[in-house]
Amino acid sequence: MQRFQPWLTELWLIGTATLLVWLPFNWFGYGAEFLIVALAAYLAWHLYQLRQFVFWLSQNARAVPDNVPGVWHEIYHQIYLAQKRRRRTKRRLTQIIGEFRDSTNALHDAAVTLGSYGEIIWFNHAARELLGLRTPQDVGQRISNLLRHPKFVEFEARSESEAVLEIPSPLDVNLTLSFQILPYRQGQRLLMVRDVTRVHKLEQMRQDFVANVSHELRTPITVLMGYLETLSSGGEEKLGRYARPVSQMQQQALRMRAIVDDLLLLSRLDTEHNRLKYEPVDVPALLKTMADDARVLSGNQQHEIQTELDDNLGLMAAPKELQSAFGNLIANAVRYTPAGGQVTLRWQCEPGGGARFEVVDTGPGIEAQHLPRLTERFYRVDAGRSREVGGTGLGLAIVKHVLERHGARLQISSTVGVGSRFACLFPASVITVLKR
């Protein structure tokens, strides 16, 4: 009601003044003429105020002028307040945008926002340094026209938020950049680019170190094994009290060679990442042979080794790698399952496409807290037991690596006292149908 007060006052004033002046005019017979002239004057006055108002608005509606009369003063005042609120909000938003720009410019990682066609909307300071982007000429350009590395073009077209691409920098081939694309709004994406040269070099050094050490250790171990073989070939009588130490040395040398071989295999899997040669593999035939090998490994422990195989299901894979991954899982099942236990090898289609190879045993099982760490290098639940059965601590790391190279993953489930299940899940893209 407070707001309408000036308007009511105006109405009351106009009504009263008109009535008071109209009465004498009407007395003399000029009532109608007076009303027309009064209305015309009133309209002219409002038109004049309207003109002043438009002029005031065009001057940015700063302060309300002092001499504005009647209801117009309230109009000026309300508009002035609204403008003031709008200016304050604008200032706050500008400040927030400024802070956001400053903080993103302080980042060492490049951030580029992309529209639905891959066109550049905005980028931070690091994007100029890492990717060589320039304002204003690059804004609006498609990112794949500026970063033309074929792998990036394909990566940008696929645009999977989980995927990370590492390629040399477009400005300096000695730098390695890691790219990730994250969707953040309808149709818009955020491209994050990080300089990973140092991490890359360290990783390279680690790989080279492991590969070189393993390689260098191979020859001395072979020489030692040769001498130990010669020593033990004379029989226990000749060796006398040295028979036991020699046999133990032989066992340890064998273990060392197994570790070195597994390390070499792992470093090969690490370094030959892009050189995987797929060929059709007759998985059922391979698993039948491996089941026979498992029976030999079981020896007089009499494990019951069963196979349930889909005879028509094959894989496009690297046969040696596949054999080594499956071999590790089967050997683990036999070695960790007590004598007389059951080991089942299953190879079958998955309901949603894809295929599954699983090894199920009736061994001791593994406590849940160990499961996420089993594929780490040298992680063992029971180091003593692992050594006893000839484990290297690298088997499951090899399995994980090989599966990753085939787009597959390892799923482990286990119940203590019941047994374990190690399943390899292959995507439909690597499956083939075998013609018999």
Rg of the Cα atoms in the chain: 41
> What residues pair up with 171 in beta bridges, in sequence order?
none
Interacting stretch for ligand ADP, rule CB under 6 A, among 17-25, 140-148, 216-224, 374-382? 374-382
Q: 169, 181, 363, 401: which one contacts ligand ADP (CB under 6 A)?
A: 363
Residue 420 engages ligand ADP in binding (rule: CB under 6 A): yes
Distances (CA, A) of 46 to 6, 53, 296, 324, 397: 15, 10, 108, 94, 87
DSSP 281: E
Residue 314 engages ligand ADP in binding (rule: CB under 6 A): no
Residue 256 engages ligand ADP in binding (rule: CB under 6 A): no
Q: Tell me the C-alpha distance between 371 and 380, whole Å.
A: 10
Number of residues that bind ligand ADP (CB under 6 A): 21
| Shortest Å distance, C-beta 390 to ligand ADP | 8
Burial of 369 (0-12, 13-18, 19+ CB in 10 A): exposed
Interacting stretch for ligand ADP, rule CB under 6 A, among 17-25, 94-102, 130-138, 359-367? 359-367
Residue 381 engages ligand ADP in binding (rule: CB under 6 A): yes
Count Cβ atoms below 10 Å from residue 396 Cβ, excluding itself: 23
Residue 261 engages ligand ADP in binding (rule: CB under 6 A): no
Q: Tell me the C-alpha distance between 95 and 407, whole Å.
A: 47
For ligand ADP, give the closer residue by CB, 107 or 258: 258
Interacting stretch for ligand ADP, rule CB under 6 A, among 110-118, 196-204, 205-213, 377-385? 377-385
Burial of 29 (0-12, 13-18, 19+ CB in 10 A): exposed
| Shortest Å distance, C-beta 395 to ligand ADP | 3
Q: Give the largest CA-CA distance in the chain.
A: 156
Q: Tell me the C-alpha distance between 345 and 326, whole Å.
A: 10
Q: 393, 425, 427, 434: which one contacts ligand ADP (CB under 6 A)?
A: 393
For ligand ADP, give the closer residue by CB, 236 or 308: 308
- What is the token pair recorded at 46? 């409002």
Interacting stretch for ligand ADP, rule CB under 6 A, among 22-30, 171-179, 312-320, 393-401? 393-401
Residue 336 engages ligand ADP in binding (rule: CB under 6 A): yes
For ligand ADP, give the closer residue by CB, 99 or 367: 367
Residue 266 engages ligand ADP in binding (rule: CB under 6 A): no
Strands (E), 91-159: 110-114, 120-123
For ligand ADP, give the closer residue by CB, 71 or 265: 265
Residue 361 engages ligand ADP in binding (rule: CB under 6 A): yes
Omega within 30 of 0 (cis) for the link into 24: no
Q: How many residues does the chain have?
A: 436
For ligand ADP, give the closer residue by CB, 144 or 332: 332
Q: Tell me the C-alpha distance between 383 and 22, whole Å.
A: 113
The distance of Cα 259 from the centroid of its chain, to the nearest Å, equals 33
Interacting stretch for ligand ADP, rule CB under 6 A, among 51-59, 97-105, 231-239, 380-388? 380-388
Q: What is the secondary structure of 389-409 as a DSSP string? A: TT--S-HHHHHHHHHHHTT-E
For ligand ADP, give the closer residue by CB, 336 or 357: 336
Count Cβ atoms below 10 Å from residue 301 Cβ, excluding itself: 13
Interacting stretch for ligand ADP, rule CB under 6 A, among 123-131, 220-228, 347-355, 389-397? 389-397
For ligand ADP, give the closer residue by CB, 386 or 432: 386
Specify the pairing of strand 304-309 against strand 342-349. Answer: parallel
| Shortest Å distance, C-beta 343 to ligand ADP | 9
Q: 83, 382, 413, 427: which one contacts ligand ADP (CB under 6 A)?
A: 382
The binding site for ligand ADP (CB under 6 A) comprises 328, 332-333, 336, 361, 363-364, 366, 374, 380-382, 386, 391-397, 420
